[in-house]
Every structure is written in C-alpha cells, then in structure tokens.
Chain A
Amino acid sequence: EAGVAQSPRYKIIEKRQSVAFWCNPISGHATLYWYQQILGQGPKLLIQFQNNGVVDDSQLPKDRFSAERLKGVDSTLKIQPAKLEDSAVYLCASTSAMEQYFGPGTRLTVT
C-alpha cells in the first residue's frame, strides 16, 4: 500500500511570509497528525485529527498556525506569518490501530 505522502519536501521562505504544507495519509486511516521536529529534538505534536474533526490542538500556535482536513482525507498545515523559530521539519502521520505511519516530512527554512 502507498505510504503517507507529503509535499513539498523542502521550502525556503523569508520571515513574515506564509507557507502551506500538504499531507495525504494512508487510505482508510481515520486519524491524522501533524508534528514539528526542530533540529536535535524529538517530534512534537501540533494537531491531531479524527476524520475531519480536531481531537487535540493544544500545542498548535493558533496565532500563526492553522490546519484543516475538510473531507476527512488529506490535510493542509499553514503558517502565516512565519518566524525564524518555525524552521523545522514538519511531519505528517496517520494511524492504524496502535501504529503511526510517518511521511517523509517537509523541511522548512525561514530566513
């Protein structure tokens, strides 16, 4: 089966610009996650969706980050405006039973 797809793989923007990332989970997986992984750290959960509803967004900086999963399948994560500290890899994952499957990630560099 196809894995979790993410695009773009790399993105370089200037601070105060906006950026969007896309994720398509494994077919049939109802739960989707967005993580932020800063260099040298473990992934940190930003938001968790169950179908098209938000389960947990307690660590999402809502003043600048937004995410949606309108039809319960693919999802978009947006940052507007970006800050230097947003430089990180953004990972998308989806779940079957107790196992999370991760996409390759999007490496964001904010200059």
Chain B
Amino acid sequence: AQSVTQLDSQVPVFEEAPVELRCNYSSSVSVYLFWYVQYPNQGLQLLLKYLSGSTLVESINGFEAEFNKSQTSFHLRKPSVHISDTAEYFCAVNTGFQKLVFGTGTRLLVSP
C-alpha cells in the first residue's frame, strides 16, 4: 500500500532564510505527487504537483519540489521564506482511482 512520510512535524525558520520540507513515499506503482498547504482555519490548497515530465515543479509563490524516483522523495523547497508562508504543509500521493494518501504534515513557522 502507498504511504507518505513527513519526518519533520515542525520546522522553525527565520524570514528570508531557505527552507526544505521533506517528503518520502512508498509505492509499487507509478505515482503522482502533490504538496498542499493549509492556513489556519482553512481547507487545503494545492501548492504544486508532479504528474509526469520534468522532475522539478514550481509554484507561483516561489516554492519548488523535485521528484526523485531513486530516493522515493518529493522534498519541498523555497530559497527565501516570508512570514506569510507560515502554515501546515501536506505531502500526498495518488494511489489510483483519484484517491490521495496524505502525510502527517509539517508545520512551517516563519519568524521575523
């Protein structure tokens, strides 16, 4: 069965510093990978996705993630974070039939 591991439950970082949120998955089939962001008291919003093609995918607000098949990883990075990036970030894998399995989430805390 597919599963997603986010080892870091919380990542504190200072504003304008780089950040990496780690995601590893297990799957015996081809995967589609996603990062979702959840701001307080809101639903999940899609940040970026890997379906096929280039292994490096980018979001409109400066985040990027790289699909690494050999390491079964899909880490999320941003070279310079902003206070407004403070949120919970969830990695997810599509298991087929349009179903998603989510990781436990990483809380990104950006301080001035």
Contact = CB atoms under 8 A, between A and B. Distances in A.
Interface stretch (B54-62, B70-78, B99-107): B99-107
B45 A31 contact: no
Given A43-B90, A102-B45, A31 B98 contact: yes
A4 interface: yes
Nearest to A103: B43
Name the residue in A43, A56, A102 with the highest tally of chain B Cβ atoms < 10 Å from its Cβ.
A43
A61 interface: no
B104 A40 contact: yes
Nearest to A92: B43
A95 B43 contact: no
A41 B102 CA distance: 9
A98 B99 contact: no
Interface string A1-39: 000100000000000000000000000000100000000
Interface of B: 4, 9, 32, 36, 41-46, 49, 51, 90, 92, 94, 97-105
9 contacts: A42-B4, A42-B90, A42-B102, A42-B104, A56-B97, A91-B43, A91-B44, A99-B46, A100-B98
Interface of A: 4, 31, 40-45, 48, 55-56, 91, 93, 95, 98-105, 107
5 tightest Cβ-Cβ pairs between the two chains A and B: A42-B102, A102-B43, A102-B44, A104-B43, A42-B104
